[in-house]
Amino acid sequence: MSKKILNRYVWIVLFVILFFGLSGCGAKSPIRIGLAAQLTGKQADLGIHLRNGVEMALEEINAAGGIYGRHLELIVEDDFGTPQGAIDAENNLIDADVVAVIGHITSDQTITGYQVANSNGVLMFSATAAASEMTGINDMFFRTASSTDSMGRSFADYVFSDRKIKSMAIIFDEDNKSFAESWANSFSNAFKKLGGKIVSTQKIYSSQYPDYSQPVQNMKTSLAEGVLLIASPYDAGLITQEISLKNWTPELFTTSWAQGDMLFQTGGNTIESLEIIVFFNVNDQSPKLEEFKTDYQELYGTTPIFTAMQGYETMQLLARALEKTNGSAENLGSELIGIQDYIGLTGPVKLDAYGDVLRNLAIQKVIDGEFVTIRNLEMPQ
């Protein structure tokens, strides 16, 4: 090859590099959203569905052009369901320069992670954390999950007034203390105020893989008419199995925490007739929800559980707020609170002045191995 031709090739290569380099400089950087959840372990189903729902919303937003031409990028961290895992996940997301974090699954994980996020000035938006100790505080924590206080009071009224049950036993998992204790206290206080009695309260520690025989025997001995289970899907199912093994047939009730596929796997037919209060009604007949379920099934090959819908709505709300801030983390919280016209998959979803959600509740019952909605409850005041 002659020197003249070689020089020509060199100039062509340099031109191509320069052209594409300059083109790249004009591209808008993505807006990074963090997601921290348990993706391995006993509660992985809750975290995986949450991630999937967030991904669906994010892809829809990007397909529509993103936020003023900037695409959203999801950075995912597994918190492994441990306090240290939550801390590590938050630090990794902050190092990745996210504008906000969606997470975690349990209230204890969320509170631990939030301490890290808050100290770094990063907003946290939870789709599932319900502990009342995060309620009514002017901070950088926001959520689309109803508080344990509102759900506990509503469920107590339903159990006492509608189901005519006058004595209850409560069993709750101390490993998610902030959620479980506040739920138990809220229900207990409201139930007793109505005239009911709490005849037994049992604590368990699920991380120690306990033998549920003695706590269940204690509740049976109390002659409680009903039992409130405050535990994960996995452990709630194991507890109902133990209740059945002891030939005891109290009325069974549980919280939204147990609303996962694992409940059916570990509980089997012993969860038949169990009743649950939920802040997202997966059986709503809304066309938007039906379309979401169809799309989700096609994408992931499985039926979505409530955390998928919660994740989807949380991401959509966050994107609306980011539109107001031009993709910046600055003033993101105040813009979230300012969104009062968002219609979610089943109806209106809005936040109060403290970032706590305002939404309707529902009662569901396991009938023939499925959650069936038996009562819709108005938005708690």
> What CATH number does domain 31-145+284-359 carry, 3.40.50.2300, 2.60.130.10, 3.30.565.10, 3.40.50.620?
3.40.50.2300
For residue range 159-178, what is the model confidence (pLDDT) as tens digits? Answer: 999 999 999 999 999 999 99
**β strands within 134-236, DSSP E:** 141-143, 167-173, 197-204, 226-230
**β strands within the chain, DSSP E:** 31-37, 72-78, 100-103, 123-126, 141-143, 167-173, 197-204, 226-230, 251-254, 275-278, 350-351, 357-358, 361-367, 370-377
**Residue type for position 33:** I
31-145+284-359 shares its CATH topology with 149-278: yes
In the chain, what are the domain boundaries?
31-145+284-359, 149-278
Fold of 149-278: Rossmann fold (3.40.50)
Long-range interactions of 354-360: CB distance < 8 A, separation 24+: 354/135, 354/136, 354/137, 354/138, 355/139, 355/141, 355/142, 355/143, 356/134, 356/135, 356/136, 356/142, 356/143, 356/147, 357/143, 357/144, 357/145, 357/146, 357/279, 359/144, 359/146, 359/279, 360/281
For residue range 90-116, what is the model confidence (pLDDT) as tens digits? Answer: 999 999 999 999 999 999 999 999 999
Q: Decide: 253 and 184 in contact? Cβ < 8 Å.
A: no
Residue 21 in 3-state DSSP?
helix
For residue range 23-44, what is the model confidence (pLDDT) as tens digits? Answer: 444 568 999 999 999 999 988 9
Global pTM reads 0.85
Residue 300 tokens, joined: 């992931």
